[in-house]
Chain A
Amino acid sequence: DTEVTQTPKHLVMGMTNKKSLKCEQHMGHRAMYWYKQKAKKPPELMFVYSYEKLSINESVPSRFSPECPNSSLLNLHLHALQPEDSALYLCASSQGFGGTYGYTFGSGTRLTVV
């Protein structure tokens, strides 16, 4: 299995909703990442987990809450989002902390906040 699987593929949520994005990989990668990508823009790093511990938080607002329950799973919990948070959320993993071998990206979750 050489994939990163993200669910759901599309999500529409209201500003008062609570939802979660899920990311799963079974490649034995020990680093996992959340990126946010706005239309026609490059991906922006949000969080990095290394060996299931949060290593990097790029000053992301607290309405985004990451969680890494085990080495294969990465969640992003969403609460009280704003319309400007609408974007493609990409999960990625890498063999080690640092992406020396490059990242494997999932197909993303297209989030729309209404």
Chain B
Amino acid sequence: AQSVTQPDIHITVSEGASLELRCNYSYGATPYLFWYVQSPGQGLQLLLKYFSGDTLVQGIKGFEAEFKRSQSSFNLRKPSVHWSDAAEYFCAVGPAGTASKLTFGTGTRLQVTL
């Protein structure tokens, strides 16, 4: 069965600092991988996704993620965090060929200090 682990429940960074959110997945083949962001009381917004090809994926809002098969990881990065980035971030995995049953990680809450 597929699974996703986000080891960090809560991360605090200063505005302008760099950010890396960790995501490890477990799946037998190459999965579809996603990062979503959720502001309080809101739905989820897709930041970026990986299916195949270039392992460094660019997303919206200046985010990027790198797929590392050897480490079963798909970490999210941003070089300079803005206060508006404070939110909950979810990594998700779906079976290659069909991502109809996404499995979400437990999320990482990002706090940004000014």
Contacts and interface: CB of A to CB of B under 8 A. Distances in A.
A90 B45 CA distance: 12
B56 to A, nearest CB: 18
A2 to B, nearest CB: 11
B84 interface: no
B106 A41 contact: yes
A105 B43 contact: yes
Contacts of B101: 45, 48, 56
Contact of A31 (B34, B49, B100): B100
Contact of B43 (A42, A56, A94, A106): A106
Contacts of A50: 100
Interface in B65-114: 90, 94, 97-102, 104-107
A14 interface: no
Main secondary structure of the interface of B (DSSP, over half): loop
A108 B51 contact: no
Nearest to B105: A42
Interface residues of B, number: 23
A92 B34 CA distance: 15
B42 A108 contact: yes
B98 A105 contact: no
B102 A45 contact: yes
Interface of B: 32, 34, 36, 41-46, 49, 51, 90, 94, 97-102, 104-107
Interface of A: 4, 6, 31, 40-43, 45, 48, 50, 55-56, 88, 90, 92, 94, 97-108, 110
Q: Which 8 A-B pairs have the closest CB atoms?
A: A42-B104, A98-B98, A105-B43, A99-B99, A102-B46, A105-B44, A107-B43, A98-B100
Given A31-B100, A43-B44, 5 more contacts: A40-B107, A48-B100, A94-B99, A100-B99, A103-B46
